[in-house]
Homo-oligomer: A and B are copies of this chain.
Amino acid sequence: MEPEQQLSKKAAKKEAAKAEKLRRRQEAAAAAPAASGVAGVSIDPPDPLAANYGDIPMEDLQSKAISGRVWTTVSALTEELKDRTVLIRGRVQTIRALGKNMTFFTVREKGYTVQCVLVAPGIVSSQMVKYAMTITKESFVDIEGVVKVPPQAIKETSQQVEVQVRKIYCVNRAAAILPINVEDASRSEAQIEKSLETGEKFVRVNQDTRLNYRILDLRTPANQAIYRLECQVSNLFRQYLLDEDFIEIYTPKLTAGTSEGGAAVFKLDYKKQPACLAQSPQLHKQMAICGDLGRVFIVGPVFRAEDSYTHRHLCEFTGLDIEMEIKEHYSEVMDVVDRLFVNMFDKLNERCKKELEAIGKQYPFTPLKYMRETLRLTFEEGIQMLKDAGIEVDPLGDLNTESERILGKLVLEKYGTEFYILHRYPLASTFLYNALS
């Protein structure tokens, strides 16, 4: 907005880059003799370092031999590995040249990123830098290099170390032009907004592009984390229930009739007989209980041919379903559900710190508020809270989405929790366990 200020910023950046370049050249020169003995010699083809870079021929990638080489994952690159030589395999996310003889790479593996740098002459030849510059974004590379800890924090990458490249091989070259730049797809809305203000103008990757090129969009740190988190959600659900003597069962999805009232059904032809896709494992989990399995759960797809286009309706989703024998009182179910969820929330916070952080960077959120022992409100108490806030609700009906939202807000204000159980619904309405289907 203020041209002078921007200009001086740019000038300062230029100066800093220059100083950085100098520092790196000195570093490379110092490292060179030990590595190859060609420092100070003017480089001419053929390059004596030619074996240290290049595309790996396809035939060498076809299960020829087991080399015994050990790769370090990008996520494992930390200060503890300082000055150690490592071998990493990842995708080139960005390439940035600083003149003819220096280039910076961001290498990404499973959403984790690290800065790699090539500086010639010395241990790296200018031909090698030239070669590296031809590697397209999203190509797979094998990099051998030494881990260094730079004096300043690296903003652009997840890992706070740098790899000084000794060898670089391209394992598989990506197309030169891709519909999505993963770096662009990884930015938060706030970063994009800010870039529009400062004139940097980051590209916004729209939802349709993301869905049309899903495999590229999957590579963002947030999406990588979402899949790891989803995996942990079902894993923690299972582990808790298995410890509580539940059995996981696998129920049929192809059924002869509808499995639950109220939900529309997908119909299909089953060898000339009419069949449906199960809208719920309700029937089969109840059969399991009648069959004396005692406590069962199901994790699997549920199909609902509903025409509602809300964020609460999906035609296909993965349902986490439980069913159990009750000894004396339905509160036994609430006890299980209460402990199950608190356990899942606790363990997700504990085990998935990095994943939650990665998601938060792109999609900021505040941690879930929940109590050690889950708040249980009766339907009547819920209705009363709504009434006290001036909302009229049918005491014998169901809560609509809007009333539920308001009640959630009231509960958060009064009890400081976003997770609670509402029980003793009127008979005319749905039952508690439907909320779990």
- List residues of A whose CB falls within 8 A of some B CB: 61, 63-67, 69, 71, 89, 91, 108-111, 214-219, 223-224, 227-228, 230-231, 234-235, 238, 242, 247-250, 252-254, 266-271, 277, 287-288, 290-294, 300-301, 303, 305, 307, 315-316, 318, 326-331
CA distance A64 to B294 in the complex (A): 21
CA distance A270 to B305 in the complex (A): 8
**Which of chain B's residues has its CB closest to A331's CB?**
B66
* A-B contacts, 5 listed (Cβ < 8 Å): A63-B326, A66-B328, A218-B291, A218-B292, A235-B248
Given known contacts A110-B294, A292-B111, A271 and B63 CB-to-CB distance under 8 angstroms: no
Q: What would 10 more interface pairs be, CB under 8 Å, given A63-B329, A253-B301, A268-B268?
A: A64-B328, A108-B292, A110-B294, A227-B293, A235-B242, A250-B301, A254-B266, A267-B269, A271-B307, A300-B301
A247 to chain B minimum Cβ distance, whole angstroms, is 5
Question: Is B329 in contact with A65, judged by CB distance below 8 angstroms?
Answer: yes
Question: Is B250 in contact with A63, judged by CB distance below 8 angstroms?
Answer: no
Question: Is A330 in contact with B63, judged by CB distance below 8 angstroms?
Answer: yes
Question: Is B305 in contact with A218, judged by CB distance below 8 angstroms?
Answer: no
Given known contacts A292-B109, A301-B250, A214 and B287 CB-to-CB distance under 8 angstroms: yes
CA distance A293 to B110 in the complex (A): 6
Question: Is A250 in contact with B318, judged by CB distance below 8 angstroms?
Answer: yes
Given known contacts A224-B293, A329-B63, A253 and B253 CB-to-CB distance under 8 angstroms: yes
- Chain B hits for A218, CB < 8 A: 287-288, 290-293
Out of B215, B267, B290, B327, which one reaches A287, CB within 8 Å?
B215
Question: Is B235 in contact with A291, judged by CB distance below 8 angstroms?
Answer: no
- Chain B hits for A215, CB < 8 A: 287, 290-291
By Cβ-Cβ distance, the 8 closest A-B pairs, closest first, are A218-B291, A268-B268, A215-B290, A63-B329, A250-B318, A231-B248, A215-B291, A231-B247
- Chain B hits for A63, CB < 8 A: 326, 328-331
CA distance A67 to B361 in the complex (A): 50
A72 to chain B minimum Cβ distance, whole angstroms, is 12
**Which of chain B's residues has its CB closest to A60's CB?**
B328
Given known contacts A235-B242, A318-B250, A292 and B224 CB-to-CB distance under 8 angstroms: yes
